[in-house]
Chains A and B, each alone.
Chain A
Amino acid sequence: MLQTYIPSTESPWTEQRVRYLYRRIGFGANRKTVQRALAKTPSVLVKELVAKAKRQRSLPSPDWEDWAEKKYIKITGGRNEKLRDRHLEEWIRDFISNMQKRGLADKLALFWSNHFVTSIEAYESPQMLVEYHKAIQRNALGNFKELCRKVCLTRAMLIYLNNNENTAEHPNENFARELLELFTLGQNQNYTQKDIQEIARSVSGYETEDWEPKYFNKENWDNKNKTIFGQTGNWDYNDVIDILFQERSKEISLHICRKIYCTFVNYIPNENAIQALAKTLLENDFEIAPVIEQLFTSDHFFQENNIGTKIKSPAELILIFANELDFEIEGEHLRNTYELCHHLGQALFSPPDVAGWQGQRHWVNTDKLTARWEGMDWVFFDFFGEKNMRSLVPWVKTLTGKQDPSPLDICYSVADYFLPKGLASKDEYLLAERHFKHEWPEDSFTSGWWNIDREDTEWQIAQLLQYLFRLPEFQLS
């Protein structure tokens, strides 16, 4: 199962498939990148992308990375929220900018932060946010066992799941439960309530105080034998991770690969594909990169049946468009991107609960869908900018491959470019053309007067784009 993708007539290596790949493996790509990619074989391309992402580790350290909380306390008492906001905004800007530019490395980091969930609302500290992200970014394409080990011991996680309140005398099982139920095995997959209790006892003793570095308080650690998955010993946190991965490796590999599959390939799980990925994860001792490589070089991934099936997350909606229209989101628009994602239901750094964003249809209901339409209008007119609109004319010429494209040519090219499977029928393209021509007298077209170089034609392209934003097809990748 999961043969390597070899382009064929049923499954040709076209711009459509390359764009699809970039939308899933990252946040889309501009035309130049897509055309360069076409010159390579799919396998070579994916291997290069994975290798590049592996080299791209965590973001550079902000200068406030090691600040103590007292540096935020005002002389008059109370916290300097303005300063905290400024630091958070700095990090948000870098975070979003890198998501747009780097693709896979950050897409995977976002995926893991939706798996090992924490919320900044719980821990509040910018320093803890950086610590948490770095732990994720450094291991996102590394080893899953180590990713788990490191991330679960960050202060953000200790606070979010109350493991910093877990003592021998007063155990708190919150973290232990989520470790098994969400992070590794999946609900009710071969563990007992007793396992949870014993794990809770084993991982006790970690404490945080305000925003200070965490410490391990041996006095509060349950210093007696515990039995986890049938193994008895005086286990500590590291032992728990080791035993868990040793005794339940099969369940873990399936749980993780199922999530990877449903996020990156199709919301409907394919058991054969998932098993093949799980096998790869196990054979590689939980190294993540081989799994990602196998997934994105597979024949299965590139099948027609999987293309266009994913409902884009808010981050994907915005960043894919920016990359495909080839403009960089910068300055205050980076913060605007964060705000828009929040408005559309994806508050970065604070998923609504420990299970993370459910994604797919959960992104869309009546108010969120209309908010997407309005949001994309904002991205286009403000982030891309009205001042850049005239550049759409040469852009459209390159896209259609014609110096003198007809309105229908333009609608075909632009719709096919942004939508995963274009439009359903010729009638649909004609409908798009109606929106492109909107308010322009019909005889300006029939007489041959109109051409793309006429004044204000960029507004027609804008109208077409706004029409496409509102189509169901635009929400899909």
Chain B
Amino acid sequence: MCKESDHRQWNRRDFLKTSGLVTGMSLLFSPLLSARPARFTKTSQVLQTTDRIIVIIRLKGGNDGLNTFVPLYDYSRYKALRKNIGLRKDEMVRLGKDFGMHQGLSPLQGLWDKGMMKVINGVGYNNPDLSHFRSKEIWETGVESHLRSSTGWAGRFFDGGGGKTSEVLGNLRGLEHPLIIRLDNEADLSFRGKDGEQSVSLTDVEDLYRIAQSGRKDKFPLADNTPYGNELAFLQSVSGKAMRFSETIHKAYKKVHTSSAYGNGEFAERMKTLSRLIRGGLGTRLYSVAFGDFDTHAQQPWKHGELLGQLGKGIRAFYDDLAKAGMADKVITVTLSEFGRRAEQNGSNGTDHGTAAPVMVFGGALSGNGFLGEAPDLNALDQDGNLKHGVDFKSVYASLLWGGFGAGDDVLGASVGEGFGVLEGLFG
């Protein structure tokens, strides 16, 4: 879509022409990197990344960023755009001088105060698509919005650098635990590599254990070297792996219990499971949890409040448990969503699909609390009334891979392409 904004030098055709270039692109769209070249060459010498874990919380449906972090610096304009659904001052928790956090997330204030929470403002991408389906696909595949890919950003990271990823994460073959675990059974292209799906879906540890243990325990007969035999051998190996994984997962899960107050509901249960697996020493380094439905087209105040309430409680309890185990600086958690929502409310006390939105990042690995990126400008909306993005989401991925796994340029390039550097000021 061509943008009419006269500030944009780049229309779509220009972008297509220059999309192979390294320099310049991220300077325009990622102002955080203003003084730095796009290719970021910091190595992992400072970070202890040998045992860090990344947790992705996917907020399904498009989380309304403006009501999650209310721009106090332009509060009157905000209230004008959201006559009914705009938050009152007593419905927010002040974070710094510029933003008020939705009170549903008030448990997170404890993390903020401990320097374990940051918010990256205005995360989005060029030529945004306002359909759930397509925008979700763009976020998951991690390529420019005019391109398609059958692999995902995380899948490509694990594919390589090939050997490079192994340098970073250690020996990835023959692991007794899954490489990536999704605590849901949703489709997610993020974890697809060149050989297919790399993540394992885990909804119930006990169920998995029970069903995997019901499989064949006797040794399999040796399969011969024919097409039939080869498929048999493959299936035999997956069968064995399923049994071993279920045992390792079950063992880690049973080692510890949760002691903090997660609240009720599916999200709480999933965060509890996550807490037990991590503190039980499972060894998996990347997890994903989907939570929603944040697609608040109508009756937003009640729905959004409910969801944020569960989100805040769950994340806070998760980090309380981790802190008790001395692991709070090892786990980096991020909340992502396929888009934010329209600046102006609609006629059903809700909001329609939008564009840029804030991303929350948690963990002791962060360099204190704070807001990164350009604060949303309610006076510079696009022709659809949507916020303009300042940070490309692929830079967020790059930052996670660097901060979580110490990944260097070469692997980052394979994952998110050239020109999306690590964000300054996120990690210590």
Using a CB–CB distance below 8 Å, which chain A residues touch chain B?
77-78, 119, 121-122, 170, 174, 266-268, 305-309, 311, 343, 347, 352-355, 358, 360-362, 364-371, 373-374, 420-421, 424-425, 427-428, 431, 466-467, 470-473, 475-476
Q: B212 contacts A370, CB within 8 Å?
A: yes
Q: Chain A nearest CB: distance from B117 CB in Å?
A: 32
* 8 more CB-based (< 8 A) A-B contacts, given A365-B238, A369-B242, A374-B211: A306-B227, A360-B231, A366-B212, A367-B201, A369-B235, A370-B212, A475-B235, A476-B232
Contact of A266 among B208, B227, B241 (CB under 8 A): B227
Q: Which residues of B contact A (CB under 8 A)?
A: 1-2, 12, 131-134, 137, 146, 148, 150, 178, 185, 187, 189, 192, 196-197, 200-202, 208, 211-212, 214-216, 218, 220-221, 223, 226-228, 231-232, 234-236, 238-239, 241-242, 245-246, 297-298, 347-348
Contact A343 B185 (CB under 8 A): yes
Task: Name B197's contact: one of A170, A355, A360, A365 (CB within 8 Å).
Answer: A365
**Across the interface, do B133 and A122 meet the contact criterion of CB distance under 8 Å?**
yes
- Give the CA-CA distance A122 to B242 in the complex, in Å: 34
Instruction: Give 6 nearest A-B pairs by CB, closest first.
Output: A472-B235, A366-B242, A424-B221, A308-B228, A362-B196, A309-B227
CA distance A364 to B195 in the complex (A): 12
- Picked from A170, A366, A470, the residue with its CB within 8 Å of the CB of B1 is A170
Q: Report Cα–Cα, A232/B249, bound state, in Å.
A: 63
Main secondary structure of the interface of B (DSSP, over half): mixed
Chain A residues with Cβ below 8 Å from B298 are 77-78
Task: Determine if B227 and A119 form an interchain contact, defined as CB atoms under 8 angstroms apart.
Answer: no
Closest Cβ of chain A to B194, distance in Å, is 11
Residue among B137, B197, B221, B231 making CB contact with A311, cutoff 8 Å = B231
Inter-chain contact B235/A364, CB cutoff 8 Å: yes
B197 touches A362 (CB 8 A): yes
Residue of B nearest to A160 (CB): B133
> Chain A contacts of B221 at CB under 8 A?
424-425, 427-428
Q: Are A476 and B228 also in contact (CB < 8 A) when A353-B137, A353-B189, A370-B211 are?
A: yes
A305-B227, A343-B185, A366-B245 known; A373+B2 contact, CB < 8 A: no
Cross-chain pairs A/B with CB under 8 angstroms, 26 sampled: A121-B132, A122-B131, A305-B227, A307-B228, A308-B228, A309-B227, A311-B231, A352-B192, A353-B137, A354-B148, A361-B234, A364-B235, A366-B212, A367-B208, A367-B242, A370-B208, A370-B242, A370-B246, A373-B214, A420-B228, A421-B228, A467-B216, A470-B214, A470-B239, A472-B236, A475-B235
Complex Cα distance, B192 from A365, in Å, reads 12
Q: Are B235 and A366 in contact (CB under 8 A)?
A: no
B228, B239, B242 pick with most chain A CB within 10 angstroms: B228
Residues of B within 8 A of A425 (CB): 221
The reply to whether B150 and A355 contact each other, CB–CB distance below 8 Å, is yes
Smallest beta-carbon distance A54→chain B, Å? 31
Question: Could you say which residues of chain A place their CB within 8 Å of the CB of B214?
Answer: 373, 466, 470
On whether the beta carbons of A370 and B133 are closer than 8 Å, the reply is: no
**Contact of A170 with B150 at beta-carbon distance under 8 Å, contacts A121-B132, A122-B133, A369-B238 already known:** no
Q: What is the minimal beta-carbon distance from B227 to any residue of chain A, in angstroms?
A: 4
Q: Are A370 and B215 in contact (CB under 8 A)?
A: yes
Picked from A309, A362, A369, the residue with its CB within 8 Å of the CB of B228 is A309
Flag if A347 contacts B187 (CB, 8 Å).
yes
Could you tell me the distance in whole angstroms from the C-beta of A11 to the nearest C-beta in chain B?
15
In the complex, the chain B residue whose C-beta lies closest to that of A361 is B234
Q: Are B227 and A369 in contact, CB atoms less than 8 angstroms apart?
A: no
Assembled-state Cα–Cα distance A278/B211 (Å):
45
CA distance A370 to B214 in the complex (A): 9
A366 near B200 with CB under 8 A, answer: yes
CB-nearest residue of chain B to A420: B228
Assuming A361-B234, A365-B197, A370-B246, is B212 touching A122 (CB within 8 A)?
no
Closest B residue to A363 by CB, please name it: B196
Contact, CB under 8 Å: B238 / A366: yes
In the assembled complex, the Cα of A231 lies from the Cα of B223 at a distance in Å of 54
Residues of the B chain whose Cβ atoms lie less than 8 Å from the Cβ of A354: 148
Q: Contacts of A307 on B, CB cut-off 8 Å?
A: 228
Say whether, besides A122-B134, A476-B228, A367 and B235 are in contact (CB < 8 Å).
no
Please give, as numbers and ranges, the residues of chain B lying within 8 Å of A309 by CB-CB distance.
227-228, 231
In whole angstroms, how far apart are the Cα atoms of A445 and B208 in the complex? 35
Q: Which of A361, A420, A421 is within 8 Å of B196, CB to CB?
A: A361
A352 & B187 in contact (Cβ 8 Å cutoff): yes
Q: Which residue of chain B has its CB nearest to the CB of A307?
A: B228
- The answer to whether A367 and B202 have CB atoms under 8 Å apart is yes
How far, in Å, is A325 (CB) from chain B's closest CB?
Answer: 20
Contact of B133 among A77, A119, A358 (CB under 8 A): A119
Instruction: Please name all residues of chain A whose beta carbon is closer than 8 Å to the beta carbon of B185 when the two chains form the complex.
Output: 343
Q: State in angstroms the CA–CA spacing of A170 and B13 once bound together.
A: 10
| A78 touching B211 in the complex, CB below 8 Å, given contacts A305-B226, A352-B187, A367-B200 | no
Q: Which of B131, B150, B238 contacts A364 (CB 8 A)?
A: B238
Taking a contact as CB atoms under 8 Å apart, the answer to whether B2 and A170 are in contact is yes
| Known A355-B150, A362-B196, A364-B235: A471·B216 in contact at CB below 8 Å | yes
Complex: chain A residue closest to B224, CB-CB: A424
Q: Determine the residue in chain B with the shortest Cβ distance to A161.
A: B148
Interchain CA distance A306-B12 in the complex, whole Å:
49
What residue in chain A is nearest B215 (Cβ atoms)?
Answer: A470
Indicate the member of A267, A311, A360, A471 with the most B CB atoms within 10 Å.
Answer: A471
- A172 — nearest CB in chain B belongs to which residue? B146
Is B200 within 8 A of A373, CB to CB? no
Q: Which residue of B lies closest to A473 (CB)?
A: B232
Min CB distance, A16 to chain B, in Å? 13
Contacts of B132 in A (CB 8 A): 121
Q: Which chain A residues lie closer than 8 Å to B137 at the CB level?
A: 353
Closest to A476 in B: B231
Is the CB–CB distance between B232 and A472 below 8 Å? Answer: yes
